[in-house]
């Protein structure tokens, strides 16, 4: 197990947190501020987070940010940099889940899902990487999901967007490691947040096999404990590329890995039997 690098009292990290009005973003903002660290707390509706940071007026900066609006992204990052002088940790949390069977979703619903979950996350990341590169350090945390590792009926658009976040994050980790910047993908399961009330325009389905997604208010995960786990990953001497949060997420990911391994083994002869064969010259 990796050891933890606890910040000294004089080290006051600056976090940039998107999607802070609820869910893991809000829980993390509260946790880092309570620890004495500083944070740019962003949300599409800043009024929804003001009461969270009123207790920490010297540590927190509330910023309006819709990650799908590139001009707001650039402005918010510049304001945070000017106010704090640096950005040490980026927590890309802004996202939502588009619910509906794939054949029932229209182009607008699918594209909007990617605008927020993928392109918005990429825009914020690309705006902050130069700040971290100049400092020679930083940590980017991209929130994926167990749904970014294993697909599920009626969440195809959401799954596709989170799979994209995972691929982007893996490549980003390779690119930034030589610069002293870390990348971690967070893969939560079901946490007791307002996320189940934030499913976009729930699409009534006639598909008989569509499975229920569970009951809001009965999710097993505690957001405050998830925030502590994320902070531990940032403090670690060797941070994980993937941080799985929740026993349900761990079980789902392990089940898929087991199934993948079995399928790879079963089809290995077919997989490897695709190379060019040397031509045998006929005897003359």
Say yes or no to pLDDT of 38 above 70.
yes
3-state secondary structure of 267: coil
Does residue 164 lie in a domain region?
Answer: yes
pLDDT value of position 12 = 87
Contact 107, 198 (CB under 8 A): no
Q: pLDDT by residue (tens digit) across 108-163?
A: 999 999 999 999 999 999 999 999 999 999 999 999 999 999 999 999 999 999 99
Does residue 18 lie in a domain region?
Answer: yes
Active site residue 249: no
Contact 216, 197 (CB under 8 A): yes
* pTM value > 0.85: yes
Which residue's entry shows tokens 């400092």?
135
Cβ burial, residue 126 (10 Å; 0-12/13-18/19+): middle
CATH number of the domain that 194 lies in?
A: 3.40.50.720
Contact 195, 215 (CB under 8 A): no
Active site residue 265: no
Give the confidence band of 213 by pLDDT, cuts at 50, 70, 90. low
Q: How many helices (H) and strands (E) does the chain have?
A: 9, 7
Does residue 177 lie in a domain region?
Answer: yes
pLDDT value of position 1 = 43
* Domain span holding position 65: 14-209+216-272
Does residue 9 lie in a domain region?
Answer: no
Q: pLDDT by residue (tens digit) across 158-200?
A: 999 999 999 999 999 999 999 999 999 999 998 767 644 455 5
CB-based burial, 73-102: b 16+ in 10 Å, e otherwise: beebbebbbeebeebbbbbbbbbbbbbbbe
DSSP symbol at 117: I
Give the confidence band of 51 by pLDDT, cuts at 50, 70, 90. confident
Q: pLDDT by residue (tens digit) across 52-102?
A: 888 999 999 999 999 999 999 999 999 999 999 999 999 999 999 999 999
Does residue 4 lie in a domain region?
Answer: no
Does residue 6 lie in a domain region?
Answer: no
Residue 267 to residue 39: CA distance in whole angstroms: 50
Catalytic-labelled residue, pool 20, 21, 144, 249: 144
pLDDT value of position 180 = 97
Higher-confidence position of 169 and 221:
169
Query: What is the 3-class SS of 61-113, one letter each residue?
Result: EEEECCCCCHHHHHHHHHHHHHHHCCCCEEEECCCCCECCCHHHCCHHHHHHH
pLDDT value of position 86 = 97
Active site residue 75: no
Does residue 104 lie in a domain region?
Answer: yes
Residues sharing a CB contact under 8 Å with residue 132, sequence separation 6 or more, in sequence order: 87, 88, 90, 138, 140, 176, 179, 181
Give the residue from 137, 101, 140, 108 showing the smallest Cα distance to 124: 140
Catalytic-labelled residue, pool 21, 56, 145, 158: 158
3-state secondary structure of 174: helix
* β partners of residue 191: 221
Sheet with 14-17, strands from edge to edge, namely 60-64, 38-43, 14-17, 89-92, 138-143, 181-188, 242-245
- Domain total in the chain: 1
3-state secondary structure of 280: coil
Contact 165, 118 (CB under 8 A): yes
The alpha-carbon radius of gyration of the chain (Å, integer) is 21
Catalytic-labelled residue, pool 162, 169, 195, 249: 162
pLDDT value of position 221 = 77
Contact 62, 53 (CB under 8 A): yes
Q: pLDDT by residue (tens digit) across 184-195?
A: 999 999 876 764
Does residue 277 lie in a domain region?
Answer: no
């Amino acid at each position: 197990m990796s050891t933890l690098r606890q910040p000294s009292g004089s080290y006051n990290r600056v976090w940039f947190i998107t999607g802070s009005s609820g869910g893991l973003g809000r829980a993390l903002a509260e946790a880092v501020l309570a620890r004495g660290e500083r944070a740019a707390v962003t949300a599409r509706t800043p009024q929804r987070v003001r009461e969270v940071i009123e207790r920490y007026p010297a540590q927190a900066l509330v910023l309006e940010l819709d990650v799908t609006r590139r001009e707001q992204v650039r402005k918010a990052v510049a304001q945070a940099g000017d106010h704090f002088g640096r950005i040490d940790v980026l927590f890309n949390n802004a996202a939502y889940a588009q619910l509906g069977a794939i054949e029932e979703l229209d182009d607008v619903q699918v594209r909007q899902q990617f605008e927020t979950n993928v392109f918005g996350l990429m825009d914020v990341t690309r705006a902050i990487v130069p700040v971290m590169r100049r400092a020679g350090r930083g940590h980017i945390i991209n929130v994926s999901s167990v749904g970014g590792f294993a697909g599920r009926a009626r969440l195809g658009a959401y799954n596709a967007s989170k799979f994209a976040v995972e691929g982007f994050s893996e490549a980003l980790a390779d690119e930034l490691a030589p610069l002293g910047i870390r990348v971690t993908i967070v893969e939560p399961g079901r946490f007791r947040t307002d996320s189940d009330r934030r499913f976009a325009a729930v699409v009534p389905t006639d598909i008989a096999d569509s499975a229920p997604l569970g009951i809001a208010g009965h999710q097993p995960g505690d957001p405050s404990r998830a925030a502590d786990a994320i902070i531990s990953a940032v403090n670690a001497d060797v941070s994980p590329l993937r941080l799985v949060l929740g026993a349900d997420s761990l079980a789902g990911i392990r089940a898929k890995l087991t199934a993948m391994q079995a399928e790879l083994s079963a089809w290995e002869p077919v997989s490897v039997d695709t190379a060019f064969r040397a031509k045998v010259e006929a005897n003359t």
